[in-house]
Chains A and B, each alone.
Chain A
Amino acid sequence: MKKLIFLALAALMMNACQGTVDPDQENPKDNTEQEGPNDDNKDPNEDTSDLEGAITLYAEREVIKADGAYSSKLSVILLDRHGEEHDVTEDVEIYYEGSDAPLTSSDFKTDKEGEYVLYAMRGFDISNSVTVKAVNGVPELPEDQDAANTAFAHRMLLLQHTGNECPNCPRLMDVLKRLSENETYKDLYYHVASHSYNESDAAYSSAAQTLSKAMNLTRNYPMLTYNLTTEDGFNEDEIKETILSLSKDKAEAGIAASSALDGDKVRVNISIKSAVDSKYRVAVWVLEDNIHSPQSGANASWQNMHSNCLRYMYGAEKTECIYGKTLGLVKAGESKDMIAAFDLDPKWVQENCKLMIVAVSANGDYSLANCTYCPIEGSVSYDYL
């Protein structure tokens, strides 16, 4: 049957998908992503027993090891009628669905795999629900050989927006190839190819499309963006100049990670060690190498084979947030870890896949602190200077 597509809805659609979702604007009730409670709310001496207001449950970690020891710290914040927040964690009962017993600790841990839907009760008030996933098979982090060291090498993120039917894209491919062979530049960055130009591209992904939307790209392909912010075209001199201007002698955070694969299931253990007091978000992306997709305008046969192609952004499926999951505050000299658990799509060639881990400073705005590749079924240590 012929059917007319509803053209007028294009206007409605714009509201739904334009730009990046600001994680700070997300509703904690959604249980999709939480920025975490404000540490300023914690006054251990405050008597909160008489306070009235809606309560919100937060979980420090969305994924924990199912080892009975690794925990996700739970906290409950009450919003009073004056709009002020109060930590009432000590004044509530926290349950998970299917259990009659309240937890006896606000550090949630378990030795049984599963998804635990947690909620808090304060008198007759019921909080939002928060899901914490407990998983097995989480690999150990690589040993930190220099625990006191916070002098981390810095890598910036070059994001190449491209597509195999983009006739001008080989020009940027040429530039990036030369950069990767140039001693001055090759160690200053990591590269991700985001194939969002055309869906028929074998390297196309909805994650790439999300990125292009989030970065508000037009059809001016190819495009190279830096650290998820600055845009540029493909003029080689400008690219070199921008790389040098954005490179840092020292990164504010280091990334260590280990990854394990069981069937299609990926478990990633990530630690962010910070040189300064800073809040972070952590993005985990799946990249695939050696994707064969004949390139329009190719001037060399290697351009028909594409690598570092973005396939998936952990946690971005619902929120379209390209900055990853909330890690929270990491104090100077300390580290904090998080776990990512997701499945590889059977359409991807597992042995050609690797991870890109991006640490983003989240202190009111978002800036890339550091990034690194991590092999699947492998690990990466802090890259000290």
Chain B
Amino acid sequence: MKASRFILAAAAALWTLAACNQVEEPKQEDPEKEDPKQEQEKPEAPQIQLAKTEVVLLSDGTAVEVAYMIDNPVEGQKLSVTNEAEWLTVGTNKARVLTFSAGVNETGEVRETQVVLSYEGAEDVTVEVSQEFFVSPLKVSVSGVTATSVTFSIVTSDPELTWIPMVTYKESFEYFETDDELFQNDLEYFDYLADIQDMTRAEFLEMMTAAGSMENVTFDGLQPSVNYVLYAYGVTTEGRRTTDIVSAPFTTDDPYEGDITFTFTAEENDYILDYTITPSHTGVPYYYGIEAWDTLEQWKVKHGGSLRDAIQAEEIDSAVNELLDLGMISGPEDYYLIYNESDVMDWGYFELKADTKYVIYAVKWDEQCRLTGPVSTYEHTSQPVSQSDNQLTLAVENITQSSADAVVTVTTDDPYVVMPVRKSEIEGMSDEEAVVYVTTKYDYIVSEYTFTGNISKNFSRMRPDTEYTILAFGYKAGVMTTSELDKADFVTLPAGNPADCTFEFKCDPDVDFAFIEVTPSDKGQFYHWLVYPSNYTAQDVKDYINLTIEYYYEGDVATFSSWELSLGDDSANAWDLYPATEYKVGAVVMDYDTGEFLSDVSFSEPFTTLEKVYADITFNFEYGPYYDLGELVKAGQEQYAPLISEGNALMPIKLTVDGKCSAFYFDIYQNDLMDEETYPDELFYAGLEYGCTYNSSIFVVKYDTPMTLVAMAYDYDGNVTKLYRDVLFFTQDGASPVKEFIDSQKKPGKSVEVKSAPASAELKVASKKLPENRLSQPQVQDKHEQAMEKVNALRREKLQEDLKAAAARKAKFIAR
């Protein structure tokens, strides 16, 4: 490497420095090797050389490095820097480099100064340093507004400036008095979003920021007729704001009152239709769907040729009525909430039947699901399907009381269907009729029975001593593609006496769940199994099952059997058990059709769930004063007026936690919930995850009714704390002077960490769950089961919710 001229003479001083850090030291020059003649000569004067003597700093103060060197350096001497400008920093941490830096120049004027570099024996060198004044490097302008979107442009003076745009309600924006308050609030929001995505703030901001100017950026998903503010600011990934906050208010358009039309795109790929629907005016509610053209024509005939009437009656009204009958909705407005669209719909997906004409339609409607505008349509005819030369060979093996293996060998990779049905179902049908029958009747599950390549597939949940037929045929996009239907008849083995059926159980308990394996001695018997409290008797079990049929299934044994009864070996995690609690598994053979008990109840040995390990985290709450909302509004705090309908007072709460906490949640529920026996911790955990996650919040509370502050936190191992509870009671007389609150919100430099949230209403007891023993298996072979499967597919979610809610009501009966 090149030797340094500077370092030759300054070596002595530098050795001292280097001795401290043990890092590679500079080469020592041996003075004795120097030319004696030179020693006699007068050394040349030192001279400061600088890469440049004019330094222009950007207005944001970004550092500028300038290299220098000392000619003819003098031993022990160092470059000295004279800088009288307070706004400027001249760093000398890097050898031979001067680092000029400053803060943002917000003076509105160009700053200039001179920095003098001195070195003994050398002429001083003056560096002219200037910094442009800061001009907001960010401008935002709204270029378009619809009922549901805003389009804007951002212009940055620096193409590398990273910025982030936000849209919020006008009143939310105006709530913050300074840029810093708004920014701190945003930072807290970013941290929250980053945290729930297991990201750092830097990772999150790197993902969310853009750089440089950008035109025609659109935010959609807005609501019509609402005042918003679009704002933006420069921000680094470390979370440092680099510009003022620039903003532009706007109001979304009112929903369009007139008729709307729609444009469509559709693309077919291997009988999958991806389609989009674009309304002429966003923000207007509309309904859309896709149906075979033939079907629509039939509907139209029934409804006087009107496509709109046909869709209204056959598609919407019939569905609403069916769902009403099933208790899944309480009125058409619920259906509207599920199926309404008001913006561009770009996720349309439909599995096509081959060579079939379809119609995609969209039409304006109202909250009562009444179609109110003209129907826009788009027609698409799917591709025809080619015949397959696949040669299928079908064999049935391993027949048991409830299952059989279908072994299929093929000659091509073309798809084919293998489906077992009761032989009686297709008795007397031709092959073609049988195929049409099963693919029509079981159309909704044919894909589950479609395969490629050689397979050995076990089909289960068959009835014992019953004739079945397995059908195998090429099938694609609703069309039979092979010329022949392969069929194999067989009879399942007879079951034994149900009363003789015994059960073996394996129970692997954890804290709040257990993995259960149930092995019946007779694989041909339908049976019910569940985890019960260990003190349950056989009669308790039967009572519980009868209650389940009567109340949860409304006496519908077929549905109960479809969902609740097992056949053959079964295993699953049993969820939502209580820690350190003794349970046992109970199983009993039942008649699938009548719900009659056909055997005694068999119990496993009792098992005990593991002790819960609670997170070692403590909560430090700061709360107390609360402020009357009415008085606040009277004092000019109009922004709180809308909250009067939600409660009587505002109460700020601050929370800090001690311990290794990965997440915390707190909330205020109505009523006194301090009784752990009546309201065990488990009742709260799931719902509380929707609680507040900020360190500071302001809650809207009510007078003259007990309320309970609850909190929980998780450690890094996923353990939760015992529930923190404190009952609160507020009265108008106890409210503090509102001036305190108003003043506290105006403190200069106050870091705003305030969220306003109404105290949650009733504790949702539905969060108290019945140990949910298993999910239903997808294998659907039984005729009746298949019929019910379609209904259950619709009911399942609702049913499970009902079960949980009902279980909560009977929690003591079931689990205590």
Contacts and interface: CB of A to CB of B under 8 A. Distances in A.
Interface of A: 1-9, 12-13, 16-17, 68, 89-106, 108-112, 116, 119, 121, 123-126, 199, 202, 204-206, 209, 292, 294-295, 297-301, 304, 346-347
B510 interface: yes
Interface string B152-178: 000000000000111111001001000
B24 A108 contact: yes
Given A99-B17, A206-B203, A109 B24 contact: yes
B166 A104 contact: no
A104 B27 CA distance: 6
B208 A13 contact: yes
A91 to B, nearest CB: 6
Contacts of A304: 510, 515, 573
Contacts of A68: 22
Interface residues of B, number: 74
A1 B168 contact: yes
A312 B165 CA distance: 32
A298 B573 contact: yes
Contacts of B228: 4
B28 to A, nearest CB: 9
B95 A100 contact: yes
Interface stretch (B218-226, B389-397, B792-800): B218-226
B165 A9 contact: yes
B513 A347 contact: no
Closest 8 pairs between A and B when the two form their complex, measured CB to CB: A301-B515, A347-B716, A124-B51, A301-B508, A124-B67, A101-B26, A12-B210, A100-B95
A116 B24 CA distance: 12
Interface in B1-36: 1-2, 4, 7, 10, 13-14, 17-18, 21-27
B25 A104 contact: yes
B259 to A, nearest CB: 28
B696 interface: no
A92 B25 contact: no
Interface in B697-718: 716-718
B616 interface: no
A190 to B, nearest CB: 25
Given A6-B166, A124-B51, A204-B198, A104 B718 contact: no
A202 to B, nearest CB: 5
B440 interface: no
Contacts of B458: none
A1 B14 contact: no
Contacts of A16: 206-207, 209
Contacts of B78: 100
Contacts of B193: 5
B755 interface: yes
Contact of B95 (A1, A89, A99, A346): A99
A104 B11 CA distance: 13
B528 interface: no
20 contacts: A1-B756, A2-B169, A3-B166, A3-B172, A4-B228, A8-B165, A8-B219, A13-B207, A16-B206, A16-B209, A17-B207, A94-B1, A101-B25, A123-B67, A124-B51, A126-B65, A199-B196, A206-B199, A346-B716, A347-B662
Contacts of B248: none
A292 B23 CA distance: 47
For A96, A99, A105, which residue has the most chain B Cβ atoms within 10 angstroms? A99
A98 B94 CA distance: 6
A104 B7 CA distance: 11
A110 B18 CA distance: 11
Nearest to B754: A1
Contact of B165 (A2, A6, A104, A111): A6
Interface of B: 1-2, 4, 7, 10, 13-14, 17-18, 21-27, 51, 65, 67-69, 78, 93-97, 164-169, 172, 175, 185-186, 189, 193, 196-199, 203, 206-210, 214, 217-222, 228, 508, 510, 513, 515, 571-573, 575, 660, 662, 716-718, 754-756, 775
A220 to B, nearest CB: 15
A101 B22 contact: no
Given A1-B172, A101-B95, A112 B10 contact: no
B567 to A, nearest CB: 16
A158 to B, nearest CB: 23
Contacts of A125: 67
Contacts of B67: 121, 123-126
Nearest to A9: B208
B515 A298 contact: yes
Given A121-B97, A124-B51, A301-B508, A112 B23 contact: yes
Given A8-B218, A104-B24, A119 B94 contact: yes
A106 B1 contact: yes
Given A101-B14, A119-B94, 10 more contacts: A1-B755, A4-B168, A4-B219, A13-B207, A100-B17, A104-B26, A109-B24, A112-B23, A126-B97, A301-B515
A292 B185 CA distance: 36
A110 B23 CA distance: 5
B1 A100 contact: no
Contacts of B7: 100-102
A101 B17 contact: yes
A91 B1 CA distance: 6
A9 B24 contact: no
A347 B228 CA distance: 42
Contacts of B166: 3-4, 6
A342 to B, nearest CB: 15
B219 A99 contact: no
Contact of B1 (A4, A89, A199): A89
B2 A91 contact: yes
Given A106-B1, A300-B515, A112 B165 contact: no
